[in-house]
Chain A
Amino acid sequence: MASRGGKITVALVVVCVLLGGGYVVYAALGPSQTTTDASPRAGEAADVAVMVRAVDPSSPTLNGGVFVVEDGKVRRRSKDLACERVYYSAGRGICMGVASSGVDYTASVFDDKLAPEHSIRLTGLPSRARVSADGRYGAMTVFVSGDAYLDSSVAFSTRTYLVDMKSGETIEQLERFGVEKDGEPIDAVDFNFWGITFDPADSDRFYATLGTGSHHYLVEGSVRGRSMRVLRDGVECPSLSPDGKQIAFKSRIGDSNRWRLHVLDVATLEDHPVAEKRSIDDQAEWLDDDTLVYSDETNVYTVPADGSGEPALLVRDATSPVALRN
């Protein structure tokens, strides 16, 4: 019996190796699914310039060509970039995506010709990217699984890195900065940071989200001081306006994974919702001091920051909008 079982097993191993190997060869020779052929379409003509990441609505697999849409026309696309998230300022940009091997995540720092200059290996799924207005610092948030704390792989956590845009080196991990709340240092095992936004007037100053327990604190920090302090609760993915007076953010509805876009006044920390009624999971961007631009993972929209008006479609089949102000 045992020896017959052995023979059947050996036969099964041979069959499985042939089937599995054959399928992998078939898949490898088949058409590549890592296309970046999707291209965005300009929506309402407006005299604005934005950089976006293209998505193909019918097959969202690994898209991410980078385009500049200007005055209602799609101007140019990158040859070398394929991004999940893109940001750009003052001649330098960050593109977070899948490495060319297709099995790892990587970020490239690119120049004003959209040509990659440096690459940085990422330790998780791309989530948020920002560059300071002067092009000095970059910030990237990734999702990591595997170090959640109740059991391995219970949930996921985030990691946020600060990058020197000139050298392409990682400066520091936000998790290692000290945090103060009401003048006292605080710390917890479930501290997660995401969504940095830099002060347009002083790139050393930034805001970000600190998630711990059921709280989502708005923190204000200093790159050189390696420190942060808690300002208020209930603010995710902050984004400072060009004049530095307002912060657009995601306001969570209850404890669901649904958010409304809100805008708060930096001086008073009071906030109001904008006219977009749908749940938006994006770090909003400012087109100018009065207008937000954001994506619903399919298209890019604008909406007035003061709560008036209606959302307007800016670019179809695109995400990750970046306002290009010269």
Chain B
Amino acid sequence: MYQVEASKALLKPRLWARQSARLRVPRNVVMLGMVSLLTDVSSEMVATVLPMYLIFSLGASPLVFGAIDGTYRGAAALVQVASGFTSDRWRRHKEVAGLGYGLSALGKVALLAAGNTIGGVGAIVAVDRVGKGIRTAPRDALISLSSAKDKLATSFGVHRAMDSVGAMLGPLIAFGILFLAPARFDAVFVVSTLFAVLGLAVLILNVEGKPRRAPRDGTPPQFRAALALLKDRGFAPLLIAAAGLSIASVSDALIYVGLQRTIDFEPAVFPLLYVMTAITFMALAIPVGQLADRIGKVPVLLAGQALLFVVYGVLLMSSVGYVALIVCLVALGGYFAATEGVLTALAGAVLPEKLQASGIGILITVVSLGRLVSSVAFGALWFAIGLHSAILIFAAALGLAMCLAAPLLLRAQGAALDG
């Protein structure tokens, strides 16, 4: 019944309709992608102009900006596990995700109303990040529950690609507005608020909160059951593999710092590095997801991880020309496309329906802790023995982590097929 009505809705532009028909992506996934796209446009618009706004309009010193930017980080991590479990327990993934999107939208309104003090801006940025922390796990659970188990990687690929389109459009729109109306940051905030409200509206009006795989009967899960995921025969190996791989992977931020020390050309080229990686990611996320559904998520995930060796190789070169740089950035974009979304899809296949959001929340937290360990370790190694030796050690660690992760991931995938 619902599917028939959905096809009549014709909300999405023609092109999308045709493409998603060919891809056979559930409408709910496309709608969730649209929510993320609109919300990312909104957030990235603000993130792009915030430094300029603080310094030129509020007269803040760049150090204050550093402190405010720092609050971006810590705020999100803690709430992920809690929001994941809560949405499983209440069976209200859409509502909990909506709370997260709503908080971020409220933050944009607050920026208009009370963004003229530095403390106010700091608080608003923190609220925005908490909103992001709340919504991620239930949103990913909804994507997973909306998809058939053999189409999970394609669904996550579509969502991540749409998400990154939003992240690319945001800065462009912000710059466009400031170009038309120089220094009118209020206009940027107004348009950003409208995008956030639209994102929330698409979620409320067009996303089905009880998709096909959503559990409809049985008792609500206990917290003990969520904890037991840590010992689950499918999910536990997945978590261990994910932790190992994230510890052995140098973060993208550090890779860019390394490239900037190695590169021989104009500083003006640097912003293009991020753009190039993002475009590669955008282009590859969907085909890589389809490939993972066809030949298996584990080989695609491991091949994606292996692309990091190319990146490390370029960082080890004594001088980096344009060709090497492009190879490096394409490899980096491919690595992103073949890892994060595919890993979440694998988790979606392994996890029981009633604990999807809890498990994904745990996975995101483990991966971000792994990245933190990785960054601290890489920074310490760089200081102690230099950039090149640090990369060699990380390349060895990545090889080891991949050898250990392969059997663990295959065991997880096997458990998913049994279940």
On whether the two chains bind one another, the answer is yes
A:37-70 near B, CB below 8 Å: 60-62
Is the CB–CB distance between B55 and A125 below 8 Å? yes
B191 and A24: CB pair below 8 A?
A: yes
B-binding segment of A26-34, A227-235, A260-268, A308-316: A26-34
Residues of A within 8 A of B58 (CB): 60
Instruction: Decide if A190 touches B379 in the complex (CB within 8 Å).
Output: yes
Cα distance A19–B261 when bound, in Å?
45
Q: How many A-B residue pairs have CB under 8 A?
A: 188
Interface pair A125/B51, CB less than 8 Å apart: yes
Partner of A151, one of B2, B57, B372: B372
List 12 A–B pairs whose Cβ atoms lie within 8 Å, in order of A's numbering: A2-B206, A3-B9, A19-B190, A27-B186, A61-B57, A62-B56, A103-B178, A143-B51, A146-B253, A150-B375, A152-B252, A297-B61
Q: Which residues of the partner chain A approach B205 to less than 8 Å between Cβ atoms?
A: 5-6, 8-9
Chain B 253-280: CB-based contact to A (< 8 A → 1; otherwise 0): 1101100110000111011001000000
Q: Which chain A positions have C-beta within 8 A of B386?
A: 187
- B180→A154 contact, CB < 8 A: no
Given A9-B206, A61-B56, A153 and B69 contact (CB-CB distance below 8 Å): yes
Residues of B with Cβ closer than 8 Å to A?
A: 2, 5-6, 8-11, 47, 51-52, 55-59, 61-67, 69-70, 72-73, 175, 177-184, 186-187, 190-191, 194-195, 197-198, 201-202, 205-206, 251-254, 256-257, 260-261, 266-268, 270-271, 274, 371-372, 375-376, 378-379, 382-383, 386-387
Given known pairs A6-B205, A102-B179, the reply for A153 and B382 (CB within 8 Å) is no
Look across to chain A and name the residue whose beta carbon is closest to the beta carbon of B208: A2
Q: Given contacts A156-B65, A187-B383, is CB(A23)–CB(B253) below 8 Å?
A: no
A253 adjacent to chain B (CB < 8 Å) = no
| A-side contacts of B270, CB under 8 Å | 123
A5 and B190 contact, CB distance less than 8 A: no
Q: Which residues of B contact A269 (CB under 8 A)?
A: none
How many Å lie between the Cα of A24 and that of B181 in the bound state? 7
**Complex interface residues of chain A between 1 and 25 (CB less than 8 A to chain B):** 1-3, 5-6, 8-10, 12-13, 16, 19-20, 23-24
CB-based contact B383/A189 at 8 Å:
yes
Among A127, A146, A152, the residue within 8 A (CB) of B62 is A127
What's the nearest-Cβ distance from chain B to residue A132, in Å?
Answer: 21
Instruction: Tell me how far the C-beta of A64 lies from the nearest C-beta in chain B, rounded to whole angstroms.
Output: 10
CB proximity of A169 to chain B, nearest CB, Å: 10
B179 touches A101 (CB 8 A): yes
CA distance A281 to B55 in the complex (A): 14
Bound Cα distance A151, B58 (Å): 26
A222 at the interface (CB under 8 A from B): no
Interface assignment of A176: CB less than 8 Å from any CB of chain B: yes
Please state if A151 and B379 are interface contacts (CB–CB under 8 Å): no
Q: Which residues of A contact B387 (CB under 8 A)?
A: 187, 189
Assembly CA distance A9 to B35 (angstroms): 12
Please determine whether B73 and A151 come into contact, CB atoms closer than 8 angstroms: yes
Q: Which residues of B contact A13 (CB under 8 A)?
A: 198
- Given that A33-B183, A98-B56, A153-B69 are contacting pairs, would A147 and B175 also be in contact in the complex, using a CB cutoff of 8 Å? no
Which residues of chain B come closer than 8 Å to A203, judged between CB atoms? none
* A187 CB, nearest partner CB in chain B, Å: 6
9 closest A-B pairs by CB: A102-B182, A5-B205, A188-B383, A27-B181, A27-B187, A27-B184, A28-B181, A6-B9, A33-B183
A58 to B394, CA, bound (A): 53
Known pairs A6-B206, A62-B182, A154-B72; list 20 more (Cβ under 8 Å).
A3-B9, A9-B11, A10-B11, A13-B198, A23-B191, A27-B180, A30-B181, A60-B57, A61-B56, A98-B56, A121-B268, A123-B270, A125-B65, A145-B69, A148-B69, A153-B73, A156-B62, A175-B261, A187-B383, A281-B61
Are A257 and B63 touching (Cβ within 8 A)?
A: yes
Whether A19 lies near B375 (C-beta < 8 A) is no
- Knowing A103-B175, A189-B378, the reply to whether A153 touches B72 (Cβ < 8 A) is yes
Contact indicator A149/B261 (Cβ below 8 Å): no
Closest to A102 in B: B182
